[in-house]
């Protein structure tokens, strides 16, 4: 009887050990099965710069491509490719990409441009993205995510830099109204006259030879001259004035007319185009800056220039000498007459 009990006891112990092993295996499988997959998100940054006045489109397209067939891809992918866009300066998350097996997964990420538009600068960098997935104590783990540039250098993130700057306005197409200077009267020597082009804002584009938003130009006597042309690099409306500087030339009455230049610069498909109007003080459009100065110098002012003043001085000197001689003669005659009277009286 005791032998039977001993045999039955061993069977119970063996059975219990078997049950414990089954539970251990089941527990182990359950522990590694949760979680059964690992989601990974890729971050992509875009920087886009453009002039403040520009309304250029700022949406750019990108493509993530798996280097090995069958690699996990974000939802919405097709044929191992995933396309997305980024607007302006922004950061987007690509994914999640769900992995259910350990391994090294490699992708290519680049900007896609169907046709380059005028004025745009595109970042043509190509990134190689490597995702390392390993088995951890509780399931799959992301070991490291590496992004390499097309030159092989490693970077900590994926960033694309795009820019927009329309082509500058062509100065050769700028209407350049001349300054027409007319002098009325008959000065013996031509005067030198100064004219000034002034920008509403000193930071505005100006022709060569300008300083602090001002350019000066001179014309001797009557004549025609221009200030020169310049180029615009940003759309907007720009204002300038043209006037004559009163330098105080003797005998002249200066023209005080002030003309206004209005330049409207527009961005037309990546090319800046200029439309210019020039108006006078009455706000009437003109094609030139006309200034008329009147010469009315007095003869005393004009005399030294012709030599008449020297002759006048000589006449005045002779007249003075003649007066002195006349007075001396009259005094002599008077004294001589008195002397003769005294002589006659004594006799």
Q: Each residue of 45-92: pLDDT tens digit?
A: 999 999 988 888 899 999 999 999 999 999 999 999 999 999 999 999
Classify domain 36-164 at the CATH class level: mainly beta
27, pLDDT greater than 70 = no
pLDDT confidence bin for 340, thresholds 50/70/90? low
- Average predicted confidence (pLDDT) for the chain: 85
Phi first, then psi: give them for residue 78, nearest 5 degrees: -145, 125
- The dihedrals phi and psi of 326, each to the nearest 5 degrees, come to -60, -45
Q: Coil, strand or helix: which one is 20?
A: helix
For 171-297, CATH number?
Answer: 2.60.40.3050
Distances (CA, A) of 338 to 101, 252, 332: 153, 62, 10
pLDDT mean over 95-119:
95
pLDDT (mean) for 89-118: 95
Cα Dmax for the chain? 217
Which pLDDT score is estimated for 297? 73
Q: What is the DSSP string of 65-121?
A: EESSTT----TT-BTTEEEEEEESSEEEEEEEEEE-S-EEEEEEEEEE-SSPPTTEE
Check residue 74 and give its pLDDT: 97
The whole-angstrom separation of Cα 54 and Cα 132 is 43
Cβ neighbors of 185 (< 8 A, separation 6 or more) are 251, 294, 295, 296, 297
């Amino acid at each position: 009887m005791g032998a039977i009990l001993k045999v039955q006891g061993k069977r119970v112990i063996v059975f219990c050990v078997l049950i414990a092993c089954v539970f251990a295996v089941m527990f182990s499988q359950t522990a590694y099965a949760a979680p059964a997959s690992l989601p990974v998100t890729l971050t992509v940054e875009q920087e886009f710069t453009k002039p403040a006045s520009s309304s250029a489109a700022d949406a750019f397209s990108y493509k993530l491509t798996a280097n090995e067939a069958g690699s996990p891809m974000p939802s919405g992918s097709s044929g191992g490719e995933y396309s997305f866009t980024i607007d302006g300066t922004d950061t987007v998350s690509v994914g999640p990409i769900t992995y259910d097996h350990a391994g090294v997964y490699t992708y290519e990420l680049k900007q896609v441009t169907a046709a380059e538009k005028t004025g745009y600068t595109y970042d043509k960098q190509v990134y190689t993205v490597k995702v390392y997935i390993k088995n951890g104590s509780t399931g799959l783990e992301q070991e490291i995510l590496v992004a390499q540039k097309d030159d092989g250098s490693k970077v900590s993130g994926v960033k694309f830099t795009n820019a927009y700057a329309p082509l500058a306005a062509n100065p050769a197409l700028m209407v350049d109204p001349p300054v027409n200077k007319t002098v009325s009267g008959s000065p013996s020597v031509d005067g030198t006259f100064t004219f000034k082009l002034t920008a509403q804002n000193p930071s505005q584009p100006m022709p060569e030879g300008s300083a602090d938003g001002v350019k000066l130009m001179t014309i001797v006597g009557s004549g025609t001259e221009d200030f020169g042309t310049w180029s615009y690099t940003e759309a907007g409306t720009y204002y300038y004035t043209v006037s004559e500087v009163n330098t105080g030339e003797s005998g002249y009455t200066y023209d005080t007319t002030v003309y206004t230049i209005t330049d409207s610069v527009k961005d037309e498909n990546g090319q800046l185009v200029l439309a210019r109007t020039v108006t006078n003080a009455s706000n009437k459009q003109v094609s030139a800056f006309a200034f008329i100065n009147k010469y009315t110098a007095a003869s005393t002012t004009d005399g030294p220039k012709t030599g008449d003043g020297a002759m006048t001085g000589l006449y005045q000197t002779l007249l003075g000498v003649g007066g002195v001689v006349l007075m001396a003669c009259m005094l002599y005659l008077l004294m001589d007459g008195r002397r003769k009277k005294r002589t006659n009286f004594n006799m």
